[in-house]
Structure 1
């Protein structure tokens, strides 16, 4: 397995909507690590695509996730009723951009995240896309649901990793022009309350 390459990695943010806060185990941790990954995407120059689940009833992406800071790297936020993120519009973006890897984060691990990952892993059109799950940036309504989903996704071929590990892999070298800013981000997020 090769390392992630920033020029062919796409981040997918799945349905992190504030209306879910009371129902999701460690919701604030998911938001904190999703924000860390948004900053890593910007430093590594990776595109980010977000979805919302039925935003008319459940609201927008949690406003504490700063998608606007991404500028042109924010490829859009698409609303859906499907549980999988792979709506026709998302599929079109994936085909057009042809990433070699996607980094998947959001909620719920055992529903929308799992269905998105499994669809990516089993659809011939996306056979060349490696699926990475940011374990610390996904959750479910109950920890057991999360644990089972992670086991199933690993068995199906997804790479289970962490936001920090993904960041170091994408930055790749201490001489990277954004390494100092990345290093500062990692130190700040290690000291942040969990």
Structure 2
């Protein structure tokens, strides 16, 4: 029997944003590009109503999440911004948030640093049974050479390495509801439906930014 294939479903997904704080701006490889990817994914979160959890590592010393990231626009979709001392995002507070949402099966990870906080968060989440998707054009480290090894380690442990656009299209699952003798049926992923228009607009608006981030983040160090 073939193993089950994990698929991203909006209603079962949460976005985790790890430690993209002001003090890191001038030391993280391709920092501006990962901010572009994060804002793109936040737009997707708004269109598809996906909750977002943010952590900040020692914000008194490292600052808060950089204001270039448009967290206020999320409104109630921003579940929490949690201060942490651990490298992993899986603090008691974050574990409690997930425990309160037993329908969540998948976590989409963005942020820094790939080989420290992102890696340890991914391993902890995988260990707890979640499907973990790391956005390769949305994570980075101080030293770019660390990134592919961190992503390879996550993949070896059962995580999924993908890109922002690929993940976005997996999450875009609009449904056409029809009746047949009182029964309902649905067709997922129908690009002709009105709900697809908002999603499509985001993809088009972000086209140049997507190309920029892929060229900067993935070409120098392809995923192992």
* C-alpha distance in structure 2 between counterparts of 1:76 and 1:83, whole Å: 18
Inter-CA distance 81–75: structure 2 relative to 1 (3 Å threshold): same
Residues 78-132 of structure 1: per-residue CA shift (max 9 Å, x gap): 011110001100000111112110000000000000000011112xxx22x1000
Count of residue pairs brought into register by the alignment: 190
RMSD: 1.3
What runs of 5+ residues in structure 1 fail to find an aligned partner?
none
Per-residue deviation, 1:156: 0.6
* C-alpha distance in structure 2 between counterparts of 1:15 and 1:95, whole Å: 22
Larger Cα-atom Rg: 2
What runs of 5+ residues in structure 2 fail to find an aligned partner?
174-188, 213-224
* C-alpha distance in structure 1 between counterparts of 2:92 and 2:142, whole Å: 27
Number of the residue aligned with 2:219? none
* C-alpha distance in structure 2 between counterparts of 1:64 and 1:182, whole Å: 22
Of 113, 118, 121 in structure 2, the residue corresponding to residue 113 of structure 1 is 118
Inter-CA distance 83–176: structure 2 relative to 1 (3 Å threshold): farther
1:186 correspondence with 2:194:
no
Residues 19-74 of structure 1: per-residue CA shift (max 9 Å, x gap): 10111000011100011111111111110000001001111111011111111110
Q: How does 1:41-56 map to 2 (within 5 A)?
A: 41-56=45-60
User: TM-score under structure 2 normalisation?
Assistant: 0.82
Flag as ranges the 4+ runs of structure 1 deviating above 4 A: none
Number of the residue aligned with 1:143? 144
